[in-house]
């Protein structure tokens, strides 16, 4: 789909285009503050980013994190969240929150759910209790959560299924998207309160060119302020991911912010930015940190390995995180070897600081017209095999 370059009212502004790629610098105005894009969102599935204080996440510079509708619906539950008027007060996070619809979590529990036209019946992975998610209910739950960006209920097609099954899943996703819009627009009439956030549609279509193009066109044309690209990074080879990301991004409207769900490695992020993607999220940075793997410009550093035992250097001399300001690689290895909780906390802060600064460097390169050079030089240095990483 080709669009004139226009601003989507005041919600999304394109501030600068890169002349050599499709990368763009932008900003999204959300209820809890403006977010500069491209931006990475730390994952706080249960209303908290694992192994780090909320205040520290804010100090790094993040003002948008991700939480999950499915998990928050099951625990603490809508009754508790309603007592606090949503997740912001409940978790004492006064910045923006994007919530996944919970659809991916439900579909990953294939033995515990059944899909119908009306919605999804599933069993809780916690206690086996039975529940129903409809498009309308998912909108209502995210309204109660107080999501600044809410996602529609969709069907994430697994890699490898045939064209006909993918088509059926895509058509149902589009039908659910239409129902989600109707529910959003009726929210004030139903509850007496206007919908608090911004509802994004999700492009599906699996790994078929015609379905991807069709879904991108249909979701782009709907009354959503932003568009997510779903159904990628679900087990496909990287070259397949790269191809379908590029194809889908080229068909999604230019006028709305684009969000690719579930990517967090630097090479995937750079490729997505090059294709005009604005938002990313992934558990990779925090999960790897808890296992002792940290980001550096020279590649991933495994702090647990023996070559760090007597290394007096910080992880990164130019990093401002607590680990790099006060501790050596040797001490961090000691913490991991002795299974101290502080090890994961320090490594998590480092990885989130690194990614925040990495995205800042990307935005600067777009602003300066040097993104392609930055990408190529960064990946060359990051991917060279080192003996001490």
* pLDDT digit string, tens, across residues 28-73: 999 999 999 999 999 999 999 999 999 999 999 999 999 999 999 9
User: Do residues 340 and 274 both lie within one domain?
Assistant: no
Using 50, 70 and 90 to split pLDDT, how confident is the model at 9?
A: low
Asked if residue 389 is part of any domain, the answer here is no
Name the catalytic one among 18, 100, 242, 278: 100
Asked if residue 19 is part of any domain, the answer here is yes
> Between residues 293 and 122, which one has the greater pLDDT?
293
Write down the pLDDT at residue 8. 53
Asked if residue 7 is part of any domain, the answer here is no
Q: What is the pLDDT of residues 273-309, one digit of tens each?
A: 999 999 999 999 999 999 999 999 999 999 999 999 9
Asked if residue 173 is part of any domain, the answer here is yes
User: Do residues 183 and 319 both lie within one domain?
Assistant: no
Name the burial class of residue 77, with classes exposed (0-12), middle (13-18) and buried (19+) by CB atoms within 10 angstroms of its CB: exposed
Asked if residue 6 is part of any domain, the answer here is no
CA-atom Rg of the chain in angstroms? 21
Calculate ∠ Cα 221-226-232, nearest 5°.
95
Write down the pLDDT at residue 105. 73
User: Do residues 279 and 324 both lie within one domain?
Assistant: no
Determine the Cα–Cα distance for residues 328 and 344; give it in Å rounded to an integer: 15
Listed residues 283, 308, 339: the one ending a domain: 283
Q: What is the pLDDT of residues 324-333, one digit of tens each?
A: 999 999 999 9
281 labelled catalytic: yes
Terminal C-alpha separation, the chain: 44
Listed residues 263, 283, 303: the one ending a domain: 283
267 labelled catalytic: no
Q: What is the pLDDT of residues 216-231, one digit of tens each?
A: 999 999 999 999 999 9
Q: What percent of the chain has pLDDT over 90?
A: 89
For residue 100, give its domain range.
12-283
Counted domains in the chain: 2
User: Do residues 102 and 30 both lie within one domain?
Assistant: yes
User: Do residues 239 and 175 both lie within one domain?
Assistant: yes
Name the catalytic one among 148, 154, 278, 281: 281
User: Do residues 32 and 58 both lie within one domain?
Assistant: yes
């Amino acid at each position: 789909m080709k669009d004139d370059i226009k601003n989507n009212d005041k919600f999304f502004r394109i501030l600068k285009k890169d002349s050599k790629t499709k990368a763009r610098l932008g900003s999204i105005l959300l209820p809890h503050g403006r977010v500069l894009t491209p931006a990475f969102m730390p994952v706080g599935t249960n209303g908290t980013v694992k192994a780090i204080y909320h205040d520290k996440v804010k100090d790094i510079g993040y003002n948008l994190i991700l939480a999950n509708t499915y998990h928050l619906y099951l625990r603490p539950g809508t009754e508790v969240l309603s007592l606090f008027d949503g997740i912001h007060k409940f978790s004492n996070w006064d910045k923006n929150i994007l919530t996944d619809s919970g659809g991916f979590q439900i579909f990953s529990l294939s033995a515990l759910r059944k899909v119908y036209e009306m919605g999804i019946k599933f069993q809780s992975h916690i206690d086996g209790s039975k529940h129903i998610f409809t498009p309308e209910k998912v909108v209502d739950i995210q309204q109660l959560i107080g999501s600044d960006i809410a996602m529609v209920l969709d069907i994430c097609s697994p890699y490898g299924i045939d064209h006909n099954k993918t088509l059926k899943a895509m058509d149902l996703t589009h039908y659910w998207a239409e129902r989600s819009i109707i529910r959003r627009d009726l929210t004030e009439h139903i509850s007496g309160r206007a919908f608090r956030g911004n509802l994004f549609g999700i492009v599906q279509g699996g790994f078929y060119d015609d379905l991807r193009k069709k879904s991108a066109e249909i979701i782009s044309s709907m009354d959503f302020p932003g568009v997510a690209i779903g159904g990628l990074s679900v087990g496909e080879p990287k070259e397949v991911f790269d191809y379908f990301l590029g194809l889908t991004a080229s068909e999604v409207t230019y006028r709305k912010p684009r969000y690719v769900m579930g990517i967090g490695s630097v090479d995937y992020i750079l490729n997505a930015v090059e294709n005009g993607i604005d938002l990313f999220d992934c558990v990779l940075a925090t999960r790897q940190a808890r296992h002792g793997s940290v980001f550096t410009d020279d590649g991933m550093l495994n702090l647990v390995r023996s070559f760090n035992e007597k290394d007096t250097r910080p992880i990164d001399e130019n990093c401002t995180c607590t680990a790099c300001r006060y501790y050596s690689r040797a001490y961090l290895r000691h913490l991991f070897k002795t299974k101290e909780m502080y090890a994961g906390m320090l490594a998590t802060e480092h990885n989130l600081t690194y990614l925040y600064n990495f995205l800042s460097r990307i935005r600067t390169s777009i602003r300066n017209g040097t993104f392609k050079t930055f990408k190529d030089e960064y990946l060359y240095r990051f991917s060279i095999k080192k003996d001490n990483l």
